Amino acid sequence: MIFDKVKEIICEELGIEADLVKMEASLSDDLGADSLDAIELIMAVEEKFDVEISDNDAAKIKLVSDMVNFLEGAGK
């Protein structure tokens, strides 16, 4: 499931507990990601899912669900 893989990446990149990562969680407000963390998360997701996320699309990713929905839309 995409969410499980995304959750794993977020936990690894941000060093947080898995139970904090929920679909409705805000990457910055709830999970504490700053702008550098966000870039590293995007890069990790691109590598893990073999997908390219444009700067425009990356700017729209605010919630965990945004990332999952993007990947689902990309056919991953």
What residues act catalytically? 34
φ/ψ of 26, rounded to 5, equals -80, 130
Residue 71: half-sphere exposure toward Cβ, Cα within 13 Å: 21
φ/ψ of 63, rounded to 5, equals -115, 160
* C-alpha separations of 54 from 7, 29, 37, 61 in Å: 21, 23, 16, 11
